[in-house]
Chains A and B, each alone.
Chain A
Amino acid sequence: MTPGVIGKGIRIKGELRGEEDLAVEGRVEGTIALKHNHLIVENSAVITADVDVQNITIKGEMRGNTAASDKVEISTEAKVIGDIRAPRIVMEEGARFRGVVEMDVKLPPGLL
């Protein structure tokens, strides 16, 4: 399914919830909950929100804490300020990030 798009000219302030994949090109301030879906933060997007998703691909600017049940991808052109919690996190070269990354690392016994 091709995701719905919140275009460049759209600004949302508040709570956004849904059960479909979504791409954001505009601005969202508040919270985004797409627990079983994929959120794409496009280059032009500015997001100031706590985000709860299955997958997220960040190419734009994001401030806020992110929890993903599957995977977080921070692309080379992204700027992210906030904490990230997910089983899989990919950060590309060039991405700018400030925050805590928590991947639930299981160390071999005897360490730490």
Chain B
Amino acid sequence: MESEKTVLGPTLEIQGEIEGEEDLVIQGKIQGKIISKKNLTVDGSGKVEASVHTATLDVSGVVIGNVEATDKVEVKREGKMVGDIKAPRVIIADGAKFKGNIEMGVD
């Protein structure tokens, strides 16, 4: 069984550290730390309370914690995020909820 995308389903709860070198979709609840070298997606049912290091982050669920992305952070219209973002590109959609500091590396 080959897969390059991992989906952590809606009933899964993880307390601790997740490290990923493949795309990761979170539909459950994560508390702790996430380190991803690829794309991280927090689906509508996903609840993340963690410090996050990733290439890209798409938030349709809830994220509480500081996020550092090497590429992009996008808070979708149904997404909620509380925490600081550090990323070269940040997109906050109409309808999204966000509270925190954004640092894009603007001179």
Task: Given A25-B1, A25-B3, verify A13-B9 contact (CB < 8 Å).
Answer: no
Q: Which of A6, A19, A42 contacts B11 (CB 8 A)?
A: A19
Q: Interface SS of chain A: helix, strand, loop or mixed?
A: strand
* A18-B17 in contact (CB<8A): no
Does A5 touch B at the CB level, under 8 Å? yes
Does A30 touch B at the CB level, under 8 Å? yes
Which residues from chain A contact B9 at a C-beta distance below 8 Å?
4, 18, 20, 22
* A7-B14 in contact (CB<8A): no
Which residues from chain B contact A12 at a C-beta distance below 8 Å?
14, 16-19
Task: Give how many B residues have a beta carbon under 8 Å from the other chain's beta carbons.
Answer: 25
Task: Given A4-B8, A25-B1, A42-B1, verify A10-B24 contact (CB < 8 Å).
Answer: yes
- The contact size tier of chain A is 20 to 34
Does B5 touch A at the CB level, under 8 Å? yes
Which residues from chain B contact A22 at a C-beta distance below 8 Å?
9, 12
Distance from A32 Cβ to chain B, minimum over Cβ atoms (Å): 10
Nearest residue, chain B, Cβ from A3: B9
Which residues from chain A contact B15 at a C-beta distance below 8 Å?
14-15
A4 to B12, CA, bound (A): 10
Task: Given A4-B7, A23-B1, verify A9-B13 contact (CB < 8 Å).
Answer: no
**Contacting residues of chain B (56-75) with chain A, CB-CB under 8 angstroms:** none
A25 to B19, CA, bound (A): 14
Residue of A9, A18, A26, A30 most packed against chain B (CB within 10 A): A9
Does A11 touch B at the CB level, under 8 Å? yes
* B16-A13 in contact (CB<8A): yes
Q: Which of A10, A17, A18 contacts B19 (CB 8 A)?
A: A10
Does B4 touch A at the CB level, under 8 Å? yes
* A16-B3 in contact (CB<8A): no
* A5-B6 in contact (CB<8A): yes
Distance from B1 Cβ to chain A, minimum over Cβ atoms (Å): 6
